[in-house]
Structure 1
Amino acid sequence: LLQFLDLWRIGFWITVAIIVWAMFRPRLKRRSVRSQTDRAFMVVPARNAPLGHASLLRSLALFNAVFAVQTLLDLVYLWGGADLPDHMSHAEYAHRGAYPLIATALLAAGFVLIAMRRGGPGDHSALIRGLVHAWIGQNVLLCLSSMLRLGLYVEVYSLTELRVAAGVWMGLVAIGLILILLRILLKRSNEWLIAANLVSLVAVLYVSAFIDIPAFIARFNVVHSQEISQEGPPLDLDYLSSLGPSVIPALDLYLLKLPDRLIDQRTRAMTVRYYLSTNFEMRRRDWRNWTFRAARLENYLLDPIAR
């Protein structure tokens, strides 16, 4: 029986069960709270406690000051159009903007959960509420700057799967920041914020399952390649071949619009297309391997008019 067990499949369904449980838990928790007697009490932290009024105030002031420096640099180099320093490339500039976004998003969510909880320091201090609002605003600007950095990076180095993932992550961060603002304005609970972020995450994963990411990347790179648009970078056929058979329609578009003088590029593209189509036709024919994307590609290859 062990040969019928797939560890990846088991791990996938365990992950799905954890996500579903996390989504349902806040509602179940509220129901259990309603069934109990009204003997709830609240522990109010001391003013100088590790997560009290004074420590939160100093932390938010420091974070806003640090973010203000980064915001000023983005306004000068990114939005203002100033040239990058000689020792910094576009890749390093984009990476420095994308990676800190992960830490800042977690920090923003954590401090909102602590400072703006019911009965917390945010309810008793207008200054803390103002600093939280200013910090979220700077996070929004940092998210927009990171998206612009990624766009400039893609213009120079074309599109890849990791860059698509970075764009999706930045979109999730933007959604999370909007939900944080809604949580403050609508005076929702922290459980509502966590559940709403989980719903947005599951929705993005569900929609991504229906999108052929390699086909999208290949078509984008073909349309914006130097051979076709006369502006972007040259088409990287080696990278396109690593994306799999889904790039065949994009290669057909590339061969259709490629100038006749580029004989070497045409030969390489035809060779890549031949091997991809051959590998696709030699794949294992099993109903359990059927996918919507593979079926669409098979119909495309069988239809000479579509090609």
Structure 2
Amino acid sequence: MTSFVSFCSRFGIAVLLVALADFLFYAQPAGITVLLFAIVTAGAVVAVHPAALNSPMPWLKPACLLVALLPLAENVSALSVSVALVAMVVFALSLAGRLQHRIARIAGQIALFLPAVPLRFIRDFIRWRKTARRFGRRRIRFASIAVWVMPLTLGAVFLTLFGAANPVIDYWLSLIDLMKLLDLIQLARIAFWLVVLACVWALLRPRLPRFRRLIPRPRQNLAGAQPAAKPERHVVEDIVFGKGAILRALIVFNALFALQTGLDAAYLWGGVALPDGMSYAAYAHRGAYPLIVTALLAAGFVLAALRPGSETSSDPLIRRLVYAWVAQNIVLVISSILRLDLYIGVYALTYWRIAAFVWMGLVASGLALIIARIALGKSNEWLFSANLLTLSATLYACCFINFAAMIANFNVDHSLEMSGSGTPLDAEYLRSFGAVALPALDRYYMHQTGHLTTWVVDLQTADDYVAEQKKWRAWSFRAWRLVQVLDKRGPLVLPPPQQPTQPSQPSVPDR
């Protein structure tokens, strides 16, 4: 009986949250409303788990959740929403007493929780019907609905005939606009309600899916019946993947990586002339991404070769060679970062190149953590948890960085027109960012014409953005700051009708 009452109360809260989401989000811009809805949903989760706050520090979990939700106040983006969603899942599992204590296991719980969200409400609804039947509650049967089909159908026929025979009834029927009634039934809106209901229900009643063991455990009495492993196979494995093979592999790998590092030092930093037909930008760009793949393969080899408790992990010479090789991999990643920086200096900055910088930094930190794991004798689970913490902190910090403004300012400042070197400014690419690129474009046009010039398309973009931000639902701290900058723009001058065409842009494949 308690579970039945609990289901009804949580369903009522879920319906209220769906109504609030409809008011805040449907056909409305997303802004501060996302943060407000997340806070209200967190309050609902606390309301259905009041006993979970009877701890020595009941404020700790809500405070951590509030910190995780702060990126939504800065800007609503796919990244900030993802961070908030993960934080809400962790918060709900912790209040329900189902959260593990290790970071790697928490990540596994989140990976299991999110795919099960769409089916959570359906499973609970089926269980609720079984519980209601057990306690004698009346439930809606298909037969009770079917008995109304014939009366309602014939009633509609009779009403139509009466309308043809009676002008008063015909007038009443003419007042009913079936098309307007159908307009009230919006499939998109109903789908939106169902999606919100599934999401908030999963938070109000957080459960993890259970998987049955598909492969039965071998019986003890059959252990002796298993065929003995061939000794020749173990001999081959010991030769190919044994201690001697790993030692020789590390020597070869260190020599190859030292060669690559030496070439980078000579060509990129030492000023040695490149072969004919190859530019420094092409040399930098060709090696930036393949070297990262090389570092990842090296990391996988190190983890496989120095498994905790293995014979190779206790050998001092192998450990020193691994330290040297991982250190060379870190240098390789730093070289890749410098290569990409040289390429950007020639061909400008894009979103994908910023993502490459972030990814390379994560790879370098992961390699450093591999050295720490070997030196401290930690497990692979510790290494995974440390990398997950590094990734989470990086993504959280990225929520507060305005990458679009960074790209626009960098490309304007390092364009051929502003600095005298580099590539001509691709103004159309910056305009694709929207109003966030207008301050940088204003500086560019001021430098070109001597006064604050704007194009009609830029003026329209600014007007539309300011008008959009007047809606309170669309407010965010980043948007508010941009509106302040746009409001302070001085008198704008439209360019003359005939403008020289901009020079052709170089091919930039990795935007």
TM-score, normalising length from structure 2?
0.48
Q: 1:61 aligns with which of 251, 254, 263?
A: 251
Name the CA distance, whole Å, in 1 between partners of 2:246 and 2:400: 43
Shift in alpha-carbon separation, 1:115–1:149, aligned structure 2, 3 A? same
Name the CA distance, whole Å, in 2 between partners of 1:165 and 1:276: 27
Q: 2:330 aligns with which of 140, 156, 159?
A: 140
Q: Match for residue 276 of structure 1? A: 461
1:298 and 2:378 are equivalent in the alignment: no
Name the CA distance, whole Å, in 2 between partners of 1:276 and 1:49: 67
Shift in alpha-carbon separation, 1:52–1:282, aligned structure 2, 3 A? farther
Shift in alpha-carbon separation, 1:112–1:74, aligned structure 2, 3 A? same
Q: Match for residue 103 of structure 2? A: 23
> Quick one: higher RCO (CA 8 Å, sep 6+), 1 or 2?
2
Aligned-residue offset at 1:198: 0.8
Name the CA distance, whole Å, in 1 between partners of 2:486 and 2:242: 65
1:212 and 2:292 are equivalent in the alignment: no
- Amino acid in the other structure paired with 2:462: S
- Amino acid in the other structure paired with 1:219: N
Name the CA distance, whole Å, in 1 between partners of 2:286 and 2:344: 15
Moved more, 49-58 or 169-178: 49-58
Q: Match for residue 350 of structure 2? A: 160
Q: Assess if the C-alpha contact under 8 Å between 2:281 and 2:342 holds in 1.
A: no
**Superposition pairs for residues 120-139 of structure 1, below 5 Å?**
120-139=310-329
Q: Match for residue 70 of structure 1? A: 260
Aligned-residue offset at 1:206: 0.8
RMSD: 3.7
Name the CA distance, whole Å, in 1 between partners of 2:281 and 2:306: 37
Q: Match for residue 33 of structure 1? A: none
Q: 1:114 aligns with which of 283, 295, 304?
A: 304
Q: Assess if the C-alpha contact under 8 Å between 2:366 and 2:387 holds in 1.
A: yes
Q: Secondary structure at the match of 1:83?
A: coil
Q: Match for residue 86 of structure 1? A: 276
Name the CA distance, whole Å, in 1 between partners of 2:457 and 2:276: 38
- Amino acid in the other structure paired with 2:312: G
Name the CA distance, whole Å, in 2 between partners of 1:206 and 1:88: 40
Q: Secondary structure at the match of 1:112?
A: helix
Aligned-residue offset at 1:150: 1.3
Q: Assess if the C-alpha contact under 8 Å between 1:222 and 1:228 holds in 2.
A: yes
Name the CA distance, whole Å, in 1 between partners of 2:461 and 2:428: 12
Q: Match for residue 360 of structure 2? A: 170
Q: Assess if the C-alpha contact under 8 Å between 1:214 and 1:244 holds in 2.
A: no
Name the CA distance, whole Å, in 2 between partners of 1:27 and 1:163: 28
Shift in alpha-carbon separation, 1:61–1:26, aligned structure 2, 3 A? farther
Name the CA distance, whole Å, in 1 between partners of 2:298 and 2:355: 21
Aligned residues: 281
Structure 2 gaps, min length 5: 1-17, 27-77, 91-99, 109-233, 493-511
Q: Secondary structure at the match of 1:299?
A: helix
Aligned-residue offset at 1:215: 0.2
Q: Assess if the C-alpha contact under 8 Å between 2:417 and 2:425 holds in 1.
A: yes
Q: Secondary structure at the match of 1:48?
A: helix
- Amino acid in the other structure paired with 1:165: A
Q: Match for residue 233 of structure 1? A: 423
Specify the structure having the higher radius of gyration (Cα).
Answer: 2
Name the CA distance, whole Å, in 2 between partners of 1:300 and 1:96: 40
Name the CA distance, whole Å, in 1 between partners of 2:419 and 2:444: 11
Aligned-residue offset at 1:277: 1.2
Aligned-residue offset at 1:78: 1.2
Name the CA distance, whole Å, in 1 between partners of 2:418 and 2:481: 26
**Superposition pairs for residues 185-204 of structure 1, below 5 Å?**
185-204=375-394
Name the CA distance, whole Å, in 2 between partners of 1:228 and 1:13: 38
Q: Deviations over 1:24-76 (max 9, x none)?
A: 41899xxxxxxxxxxxxxxxx98716643234224323322332332222122
Aligned-residue offset at 1:142: 0.9
Q: Assess if the C-alpha contact under 8 Å between 2:412 and 2:440 holds in 1.
A: yes
Q: 2:432 aligns with which of 220, 242, 246?
A: 242
Aligned-residue offset at 1:121: 3.3
Name the CA distance, whole Å, in 2 between partners of 1:193 and 1:177: 10
Q: Assess if the C-alpha contact under 8 Å between 2:468 and 2:474 holds in 1.
A: no
Q: Deviations over 1:179-205 (max 9, x none)?
A: 222223333322221111111111111
Moved more, 57-66 or 187-196: 57-66
Q: Deviations over 1:88-138 (max 9, x none)?
A: 345542332222233223223223322333212333322221221121121
Aligned-residue offset at 1:210: 0.9
Q: Assess if the C-alpha contact under 8 Å between 1:26 and 1:195 holds in 2.
A: no
Shift in alpha-carbon separation, 1:292–1:238, aligned structure 2, 3 A? same
Name the CA distance, whole Å, in 2 between partners of 1:278 and 1:27: 44
Shift in alpha-carbon separation, 1:84–1:186, aligned structure 2, 3 A? same
